[in-house]
Amino acid sequence: MLEIRFHGRGGQGAVVASELLAQAVFFDGKVAQSFPFFGVERRGAPVTAFTRIDDQPIRLRSFIENPDVVVVLDPGLLRDTPVTEGLKPGGLLLVNSPRPPEAFSLPLGGRIATLDATGIALGRKVGTATMPVVNTAVLGALARATGAFTETSLERAIISFVPSHPEENRAAARDGAEAVRTEPVAPSTVAPAPAPPAAPLPFPEGPMASRPSHVLHTSSWRTLRPVIDRDRCTRCNFCWEFCPDDAFDLDAEGYPLVRLSYCKGCGICATECPPDAIQMVTEA
């Protein structure tokens, strides 16, 4: 049995990816199981989904704690989610990132694969510029990197089950298969550091009601960030007025400053700025 765990963000299609993968496996004549981790689903919020693949009926019903493969749809997740937790030694980590596999590490050894699925999705116009849907490109890469299901069956699943723009999604899957690069990584020779104590909460223990949410950062929710051109800015404050995340400060002269720890990249400020002084640029 092959167990795969997907980590993504609401809107990127992690849950749909796990389901499309299961469909492709069925088309291959094998058995699959897919299900999401039940939680709050918000565009941008971390989402987990699971797929099992086998030649015979699967009776397990638990979450996947020790996956053979971990798929990360958003490299930003690597910052604050322990995505490789439980990954089997020798397992595969597949990351949507423009960086090469060597840029990442696996302490227990295994294989690392990367591809720029965001670039592919933007190029194929899958999803929107604010929320590119990277799942099909990543699945193409997963097929190529694991060989656990055929690319033909994946394309058939996409054409049969993706409701909007199936052709563009199929093209993205092909691009993903071509673009992926896989490298073996040796286990780290350094003895693994003892597990660090649980990270302290960013505030003292005590009644929770008094802890403001701004101790939590939402920067990793976004795929685009606003960049302000001060020379064009007329200091009208519209961007500040309309931001649903209160992600602006006004400096002493009244110019807006984006508080990037909180901006979720919705694009409202750029759309509302009268002199077009704000551009949304892709996050590196």
Partner 1 sequence: MAKLTIPRQELMYSGHAACPGCGPALAMRLLLKGLGPRTVVSVPASCWTVIATPYPTTALGVGMLDNAIEATGASISGLRAAADALGLGDLNVVGFAGDGGTADIGLQSLSGMLERGTDALYVMYDNEAYMNTGVQRSSATPQGAWTTTTPVAGEARGKLEPKKDIMAIVLAHHPVYAATLNPSFPEDFVRKVEKARERKGPRFFHVYAACPPGWRYDSDQTIELGRLATYAGIFPLYEVEMGRLRITRRMGQLKPVEEYLKAQGRFRHFSPEEVQQVQEQARARWDDLLARERAANPPERAAVPGEPASPALPPPVAGEALGRT
Residues that bind partner 1 (CB under 8 A): 10-11, 40-45, 128, 130-131, 201, 208-218, 221-222, 234-237, 241-247, 250, 253-255, 259, 261-262, 264-268, 270-272, 280
Determine how many CB atoms are found less than 10 A away from the CB of residue 194: 6
State the Cα angle at 47 between 246 and 179, rounded to 5°: 105
Q: Which does 278 bind (CB under 5 to 8 A by kind): ligand SF4, partner 1, none?
A: ligand SF4
Regarding 131 and contact with ligand SF4 (CB under 6 A), the answer is: no
Regarding 264 and contact with ligand SF4 (CB under 6 A), the answer is: yes
**CA nearest to 168, candidates 130, 124, 198:** 124
Residues 197-236 that bind ligand SF4 (CB under 6 A): 226, 228, 233-236
**CA nearest to 270, candidates 229, 223, 218, 221:** 229
Helix axes of 135-146 and 14-27: crossing angle, nearest 10 degrees: 50
Q: Which does 213 bind (CB under 5 to 8 A by kind): partner 1, ligand SF4, none?
A: partner 1
Among 275, 281, 282, 284, contact with ligand SF4 (rule: CB under 6 A): 275
If DSSP codes are grouped into helix, strand and coil, which group holds residue 19? helix
Regarding 10 and contact with ligand SF4 (CB under 6 A), the answer is: no
Quick one: 8 or 101, whose CB is closer to ligand SF4? 8
Quick one: 29 or 212, whose CB is closer to ligand SF4? 212
Q: Please state whether 103 falls in left (phi above 0), alpha (psi between -120 and 50) or beta.
A: alpha
Regarding 243 and contact with ligand SF4 (CB under 6 A), the answer is: yes
Among 71, 138, 154, 239, contact with ligand SF4 (rule: CB under 6 A): 239
CB 70 within 8 A of CB 47: no
Among 35, 88, 268, 283, contact with ligand SF4 (rule: CB under 6 A): 268
Among 44, 67, 176, 256, contact with ligand SF4 (rule: CB under 6 A): 256
Exposed (0-12), middle (13-18) or buried (19+): which is 184, by Cβ within 10 Å? Answer: exposed
CA distance 242 to 226: 14
Q: Which does 277 bind (CB under 5 to 8 A by kind): partner 1, ligand SF4, none?
A: ligand SF4
Minimum Å distance from CB 268 to partner 1?
A: 5
CA distance 97 to 115: 5
What Rg do the C-alpha atoms of the chain give, in angstroms?
A: 21
List interacting residues with ligand SF4 (CB under 6 A): 42, 226, 228, 233-239, 243, 245, 247, 256, 258, 263-269, 273-275, 277-278
